Amino acid sequence: MDAYDPFVRGRFPVGVCTLRALDVARSRDLPCEIWYPAATQHAGQDLDPRAQDHFTPRLNSAEQKQMAVRDAAALPGLYPLIIFSHHSGGHRRTSTFLCTHLSSHGYVVAALDHSEVTAPELARRNDESDEQKKARWQAVIESRVPDVRFLLDHLLHSSTLSPDVELDPSRIGIVGHSFGAWTALATPEIDSRIRAVVALAPGGTSNPRPGILPVKLTFRWKREIPALYLVAENDVPLPLAGMYELFERAPSPKQMVILRRADHLHFIDNVELEHEAFRTAPMPAEVAQMQKEMRPITELCSGEQAHLWVRGLTLAHMDAFLGHRYEAQRFLHGDVEGELKKRGIDVILHQSQPHS
């Protein structure tokens, strides 16, 4: 146990590249971000602010850095693949803190801008009626899983990074946040290639709040898939009661860990900035009600604490079930609460309720 520490950065420098994947069948051009273990000559560069990649996030004017080197040479090898799916209103680089961490431990991680970000027919219009809005959102929902399947097909059947880099089709995981976590949980209903899931504050509850997408989950998965649910104690858009409901409905094996004093945006980059921006921005009435219920960030746990929690437990889950590492399995079944407490992070481990 002492030798295994999923919270620390991995031994691989991280490279990043952007590709545009054309889905001919749906006439969609989908930008994708790929993080990967980089060749040894890049050691330390991903941690050096002078060498790190910088980008301007969608709908934002402030430049941001990520702990990866743009277009670095890839380290040849056979790697497990993890897909990351972003939240509604997000983009492929919303959680670089997590994607770069996973890649530093030997995973290729891929994320795309989902169809609602790139397809003109799915864009919000100011003059749309309620029926048009409902139809558009249904089209958005129906595009999510096909987006993931297209990305998987594209990556597994092309030399995306280098002829010397291979992706292992028997070791594919998926991580998502919010609508992206619903996507992660819905994909195994259709695609049997997924072997491990991490759902970060997932949508899909039976009674969503006004303003939240009415997505549904059947959990009719094609195989037994270990799933980890990481959720927030003070989540206003997707409250904890709904997380309990989803967890009870989900198939085993499963584990849920609740971060105390955390809200819905503790799963993305720049937590403090993004939480306050959402809490104070002009919003439609149903969202404005949520804003009133949100606590100021000063009353919640820090972004650093949340990131450490998400990084460590997501990596441990993938190491256990994609990497087949016994020490990771032992970590997840050990004193997770105590390990996090040592790092100043308060959590609740939720156990499934026995059925009478």
Question: Can you give the three-state secondary structure of 2-71, one letter per residue?
Answer: CCCCCCCCCCCCEEEEEEEEEEHHHCEEEEEEEEEEECHHHCCHHHCCCCCEEECCCCCCCCEEECCEEC
Q: What's the pLDDT tens digit per position in 266-292?
A: 999 999 999 999 999 998 887 899 999
Report whether pLDDT(112) > 50: yes
pLDDT average, residue stretch 65-74 = 97
pLDDT of 26 reads: 95
Percentage of the chain modeled with pLDDT above 70: 98
Q: What is the CATH number of domain 14-228+235-256?
A: 3.40.50.1820
pTM for the whole structure: 0.96
- Phi and psi angles of residue 169, each rounded to the nearest 5 degrees, phi first: -65, -15
pLDDT value at position 354? 54
DSSP string over 273-286: HHHHHHHHS---HH
Q: Is pLDDT above 50 for 1?
A: no
Cβ-based neighbours of 12, under 8 Å, separated by 6 or more: 37, 38, 75, 103, 104, 105, 106
**pLDDT at residue 15 greater than cutoff 60:** yes
Encode pLDDT of 122-170 as tens digits: 988 888 888 998 999 999 999 999 999 999 999 998 877 778 899 999 9
According to the model, what pLDDT value does residue 342 have? Answer: 96
For residues 191-209, give the mean pLDDT.
96
Mean per-residue pLDDT over the chain, rounded: 94
Q: Classify residue 227 by burial, with Cβ atoms within 10 Å: 0-12, 13-18, 19+.
A: buried
Does residue 356 carry a pLDDT above 80? no
Would you state the structure tokens that stand for residue 141, as one six-digit string?
């929902």
Residue-level pLDDT at 160 = 73
Convert the pLDDT of each residue in 118-135 to its tens digit. 999 998 888 888 899 899
Please state the domain extents for the chain.
Answer: 14-228+235-256
- Cβ pair 13, 46 in contact under 8 A: yes
Rounded average pLDDT over 233-239:
97
pLDDT at residue 124 in the model: 84
pLDDT band at 355 (very low <50, low <70, confident <90, very high): very low
CA 315 to chain centre: 12
